[in-house]
Amino acid sequence: MNLFSRKRPEKLALNTNAPVTKPRSTDAPHSPLASELTRLLGPQKVLSGLGERLNYRYDAILVGETPLCVVLPESTQDVALAVKAAKAAGVPIVGRGAASGLSGGAAPLKESLVISFTRMTRLEIFPERREARAQAGVVTLAVSEAARPHGLVYPPDPASFRTSTIGGNLGENAGGPMCFKYGVSGDYVRAMQFVDVDGEVHELRRDAYDLAGLMIGSEGTLGFITEATLRLTPPPRFTRTLMSHFPEVGQAAEAVSQAIAAGAVPAKLEFMDKACTNAVEDYLHIGLPREAEAVLLVDTDGEDLATVEEELALVESACLAHGGTVRRAADDTESAALWRARRSISPALGRIRPQRMNEDIVVPRSVLAEVVREIRALGEASGFHLVQFGHIGDGNLHPNILFDPRRESAEQVHELAYQVALVALRHGGVLSGEHGIGAMKRSFMRDALDSVTLEALWNVKRALDSQERLNPGKVLPGDADLPHQDTHAHP
Amino acid sequence: MNHDIPVDQLGPQGEIMAHAIDACVHCGFCLPACPTYALLGDEMDSPRGRIFLMKEVLEGELPLFEASPHLDRCLGCMGCVTACPSGVPYGELITSFRGWSEPQRRRSAFDRAKRGAILKALPAPRLFSAAARLGQYAKPLSPLLPTSLKSPLDLLPEHVPAMLDLPRRTPAQGPQRARVALLAGCAQQALAPNFNAATLRVLARNGVEVIIPEGQGCCGAAAMHTGARGEALKLARTNLAAFEPDDYDAILSNAAGCGAGLREYPEVLRGLPEEAAARQLAAKVMDISTFLARLSEQGGLEPFMPAKKPLKIAYHDACHLAHAQAIRAEPRALLKLIPGVSVLEVPEGEICCGSAGTYNLEQPELAAQLGERKARNVLSTQPDMVASGNIGCHTQIQSHLRRQGSPVPIHHTVEILDLAYRGEL
């Protein structure tokens, strides 16, 4: 399937369902499923007008099919009822948080029921247990904001943390700059509630079979996380920030390896290439070094200021040793501005080309310099605008191919993305560090996994979703020819 | 984002719309900045959702009536413009779209009459003042009326002040430092004549000669943003004739919405013979706070009398200052020049108060929810006084502070400066 082509037929079909004589978009439902859901949940939680459904077909990277119907549940019970109704109607279901994802995870590829969790926003903080209990639709930043008065924070910090939801973060196992020292979303889950494909509600903890771990990063293909108990931590007392820029991209990667080998454990260690730096500078105008081929942004943090400074000094000398120019943030304001720059890369790239193919590879740190250089060379040879940034501390890189679909070939973009993925795999890396596989990288999974392992994943999928009704077309390749074997509805 | 908008059939406004839609990468960074998304939690009532809806309508894939309820709920606060890293000119998009779509809409007779009345009364200060006085008498009947009639009455102050006759020219006191023109504003003249009086006093005291050019009218922002494009063009042309940019060091506005409105003239007149003149005018337009802050930097302002006792002022960012014109630091800096004054930041300060031009008349329920939320946030800072730079916010916040039983006064930033000069702070 060509992910970048503009697809129209579904609209023609839907227009016949939405006659122009209809006076209001909130009028009577158009499909039997919408009628049933309206009966079960009431009209406020069900969207069936064309203007309402059209807006639930995309995430931050992909525009998919218009959903058949959209549900905005307010409780786990609502989710369970919606899932049961969809099962009875034989309609696939796609879960959706704030749809800021970057692999197409929340974009329906078939006419589906979309369950949007944005109204499930109940959040409780239990300071004595250092835990938060959050419904799936709670915005990520809100967890830390609620915990802070108790002297606690929720460390996972994807770039979209002001928008994205806990449910979406767990579905994609989202990371963020903090992941090098503090881990990704899944590392903070103590327990969760999920609704399975039959609409049954389960409470999972992280003991015995780690089914919660299975749900994390499953991108809504195994069930719907409706609530999670999250671990909170006290924020570090001290944080120091430095920025270093390099005349060559490989040097930055080498500096990173040396700093870590020397014993530094930075809280954040981020990399941006020249195109990223310039895109962000165009947006923020904060004096980023436009001429540098690579920029590193580093935080060290901890309870003891001397150690924090010492770690920063280790990073500084590694950068200097590899030809970097170092600038320490003078104060919190400067540090915040630099980090805002990092968070703005993704959307700021839209100023260069309207569309992009976004990779999320992770490679061993020992081969970083080589990988960065190889990808750079692939980009230059292709003639496409290829940029790289990422959480370089744990080897997580985001090579992005920027393109204009009206002037450039989507097939060639996909081919270049495939070549980039192969570079990662050849060097012992994986396809996704934090964005998920989604629809964008699904076809590369055949190269990433051997057939036995892939079959094991399919067996898990079949065990939890035998009819492939949960977020079809995501993660696992080969949905068109799902082998039919003895299956069980759910464990 | 990709689109198939027939740009060549839509003219210069079509180019504006297509460019904005092109620029959106649907990342969703705008969602938390949108007041209606905060209230309703659905994609259609977010900036990203509205951009998709406009695209679909322009492409002919979605009937206008399906999109209209959600587009009508947009306040035009521009919070999303501040939040957008891709630089999507959302304001130009929605204004152009409303201008394009309004002639195609079928509205009820009541709706048409109401909109007509608003757009007629707003630009005519004397008519507005008369209507406001009439409204005052009707106020006791308010609980009996439907929401659409009740909301304008609820926003009226207890006493509608007498209109002031504004001098055509106010000479500078002492050595003249600058010569400026002032846009007098419309509703503001009727509801808060002291804004202009205080502006003239503060400017004169600082060596600025102020001309209020004859023949000026409403800036047209209300017409423009409700889709009454013909009316907006007429008003823009009136002001282009009245203000001669070369005659002044600056053309000042003391209402955030009006200042932003004047600065939008080049977009309104894009492709028309007056476009160049509109650019010249827009380049000279400045908010009163920016102008005074510049005077302060270049040679200082006349010293203020200290406040009688330490005074905590909560500063409210009007959307059309903070988001539309990126003016945040200047009013705060001016207030801090007054000895004894400290400036407080309002939680969720970037979220609109719900006034938004004619919004509180057209979407009273949502406007009231936002007004209530704004007043609650303002009061959470425990201020002695509130400052803002826009008549719409002023009326809305005042009305909601009173509804929450608070006696805390609200003033225009320039009124507070004026009070400080007079030793009455």
β-sheet with A131-135: strand ranges across: A123-126, A131-135, A224-231, A189-195, A201-205
DSSP string covering B53-112: HHHHHHTTSS-HHHHHHHHHT-----HHHHH-TT---HHHHHHHHHHHHGGG----HHHH
- In the block, which residue shows the tokens 């496409």? A384
Is B42 in contact with A52 (Cβ distance < 8 A)? yes
- In the block, which residue shows the tokens 């218009």? A66
Residue-wise pLDDT for B141-196, tens only, equals: 766 666 666 766 776 766 777 777 889 999 999 999 999 999 998 888 888 889 99
- In the block, which residue shows the tokens 């160049």? B276
Phi-psi region of A262 (alpha: psi -120 to 50; beta: other; left: phi over 0): alpha
Band of pLDDT at residue A290, cut at 50, 70 and 90:
very high
Is A54 in contact with B62 (Cβ distance < 8 A)? yes
DSSP string covering B338-403: STTEEEEEPTTTTS--S-TTTHHHHSHHHHHHHHHHHHHHHHTT--SEEEES-HHHHHHHHHHHHH
Interval A474-487 mean pLDDT:
59
Give the integer Cα–Cα distance in Å for B402 and B394.
Answer: 12
Q: Using the predicted structure, report yes or no on whether residue A221 has a pLDDT greater than 80.
A: yes
User: Which residues, in sequence order, are CB contacts of A135 under 8 Å at separation 6+?
Assistant: A117, A120, A121, A122, A123, A166, A167, A226, A227
A215 CB near a chain B CB, below 8 Å?
no
A43 CB near a chain B CB, below 8 Å?
no
Is B62 in contact with A163 (Cβ distance < 8 A)? no
Measure in Å the smallest separation between the Cα of B147 and chain A Cα atoms: 21
Interval A415-420 mean pLDDT:
94
Model pLDDT, residue A481:
39
Q: What percent of chain A has pLDDT over 70?
A: 91
Model pLDDT, residue A22:
33
Is A55 in contact with B44 (Cβ distance < 8 A)? yes
Least CB–CB distance from A162: residue in B32, B61, B87: B32
Give the integer Cα–Cα distance in Å for A230 and A286.
Answer: 35
Nearest CA in chain A to B84: A347
Tally of helices (H runs) and strands (E runs) in chain A: 17, 19
Please tell me whether residue A204 adopts helix, strand or coil conformation.
strand
A23 CB near a chain B CB, below 8 Å?
yes
The whole-chain average pLDDT of chain B stands at: 91
Model pLDDT, residue A5:
42
Q: Using the predicted structure, report yes or no on whether residue A118 has a pLDDT greater than 90.
A: yes
The phi and psi torsions of A128 (rounded to 5 degrees) equal: -65, -30
- In the block, which residue shows the tokens 């969703």? B28
Measure in Å the smallest separation between the Cα of B39 and chain A Cα atoms: 10
Give the integer Cα–Cα distance in Å for B247 and B234.
Answer: 23
Measure in Å the smallest separation between the Cα of A220 and chain B Cα atoms: 20
Is the ipTM beyond the 0.85 threshold? Answer: yes
pLDDT beneath 50: ranges in chain B: none
Least CB–CB distance from B41: residue in A51, A54, A72: A72
Inter-CA distances, B308 with A151, B296, B305, B338, Å: 39, 23, 9, 11
B121, B127 Cβ separation under 8 angstroms: yes
Give the integer Cα–Cα distance in Å for A324 and A294.
Answer: 9
Give the residues across from B410 on adjacent strands.
Answer: B386
Chain B residues lying within 8 Å of A160, measured CB to CB = 27-29
Nearest CA in chain A to B85: A348
Is B22 in contact with A23 (Cβ distance < 8 A)? no
Structure tokens of B215? Answer: 């023949």
The phi and psi torsions of B216 (rounded to 5 degrees) equal: -75, 160
CA dihedral A218, A222, A226, A228 (to 10 degrees): -50
Nearest to B375 by CA among B310, B312, B314, B311: B314
Give the integer Cα–Cα distance in Å for B224 and B268.
Answer: 8
Model pLDDT, residue B257:
93
DSSP string covering A228-260: EEEE-BPPPSEEEEEEEEESSHHHHHHHHHHHH
Measure in Å the smallest separation between the Cα of B58 and chain A Cα atoms: 13
Nearest CA in chain A to B4: A6
Give the integer Cα–Cα distance in Å for B299 and B174.
Answer: 14
Measure in Å the smallest separation between the Cα of A161 and chain B Cα atoms: 9
Nearest CA in chain B to A58: B26
DSSP string covering A291-345: T-SEEEEEEEEES-HHHHHHHHHHHHHHHHHTT-EEEE--SHHHHHHHHHHHHTH
Interval A473-487 mean pLDDT:
61
Nearest CA in chain A to B47: A55
Is B66 in contact with A18 (Cβ distance < 8 A)? yes
Model pLDDT, residue A19:
33
Q: What is the pTM of this model?
A: 0.90
Residue B305: count of CB within 10 angstroms of its CB? 15
Is A6 in contact with B4 (Cβ distance < 8 A)? yes
Is A350 in contact with B41 (Cβ distance < 8 A)? no
Measure in Å the smallest separation between the Cα of A356 and chain B Cα atoms: 9
Give the integer Cα–Cα distance in Å for A104 and B372.
Answer: 38
Is B32 in contact with A348 (Cβ distance < 8 A)? no
- In the block, which residue shows the tokens 């436009």? A290
Measure in Å the smallest separation between the Cα of B156 and chain A Cα atoms: 33
Query: Please, which residues 288-347 of chain A have a Cβ atom closer than 8 Å to chain B?
Result: 344, 346-347
Model pLDDT, residue B146:
67
Please tell me whether residue B153 adopts helix, strand or coil conformation.
helix
Residue-wise pLDDT for A182-203, tens only, equals: 999 999 999 999 999 999 999 9
Q: CB under 8 Å, gap of 24 or more: what pairs does B290-293 form?
A: B290/B327, B290/B330, B291/B180, B291/B250, B291/B252, B292/B202, B292/B203, B292/B206, B292/B330, B292/B334, B292/B414, B292/B417, B293/B329, B293/B330, B293/B331, B293/B333, B293/B334
Is A350 in contact with B25 (Cβ distance < 8 A)? yes
Is A100 in contact with B1 (Cβ distance < 8 A)? no
Is B23 in contact with A346 (Cβ distance < 8 A)? no
- Ordered structural domains, chain B, with CATH: 7-104 (1.10.1060.10), 302-421 (3.40.50.11810)
Nearest CA in chain B to A162: B32
Residue-wise pLDDT for B372-397, tens only, equals: 999 999 999 999 999 999 999 999 99
Give the integer Cα–Cα distance in Å for A358 and A102.
Answer: 7
Least CB–CB distance from B32: residue in A51, A163, A355: A163
- For testing the chain A interface, which of B22, B26, B43, B71 should be mutated: the one with the most A CBs within 10 Å? B43
Nearest CA in chain A to B25: A350
Chain B residues contacting A, CB < 8 Å?
1-2, 4, 22-29, 31-32, 41-44, 49, 52-53, 56, 61-63, 65-67, 69-70, 84-87
Chain A residues lying within 8 Å of B63, measured CB to CB = 18, 20, 50
Size of interface A-B (CB pairs under 8 A): 118
Measure in Å the smallest separation between the Cα of B96 and chain A Cα atoms: 20
- For testing the chain B interface, which of A20, A24, A45, A52 should be mutated: the one with the most B CBs within 10 Å? A52
Interval A128-134 mean pLDDT:
98
> Crossing angle for the helix pair B90-101 and B47-58, nearest 10 degrees?
40
Least CB–CB distance from A55: residue in B24, B29, B43: B43
- In the block, which residue shows the tokens 């943390």? A161
Least CB–CB distance from A52: residue in B32, B44, B87: B44
What is the amino acid identity at position A18? A
Measure in Å the smallest separation between the Cα of B57 and chain A Cα atoms: 9
**Signed CA dihedral, B31, B35, B37, B39: sign only:** positive
Residue-wise pLDDT for A243-288, tens only, equals: 999 999 889 989 999 999 999 999 999 999 988 999 889 888 888 9
Nearest CA in chain A to B28: A100
Chain B residues lying within 8 Å of A283, measured CB to CB = 85-87
Measure in Å the smallest separation between the Cα of A297 and chain B Cα atoms: 19
Nearest CA in chain A to B83: A344
Residue B142 C-alpha from the chain's centroid: 26
Nearest CA in chain B to A284: B85
Measure in Å the smallest separation between the Cα of B183 and chain A Cα atoms: 32
**What is the distance between the terminal CA atoms of chain B, rounded to a whole angstrom?**
53
Least CB–CB distance from B31: residue in A15, A163, A405: A163
3-state helix, strand, coil in chain A (%, to 5): 40, 20, 40
The phi and psi torsions of B381 (rounded to 5 degrees) equal: -85, -5
Chain A residues lying within 8 Å of B5, measured CB to CB = none
Nearest CA in chain B to A50: B66
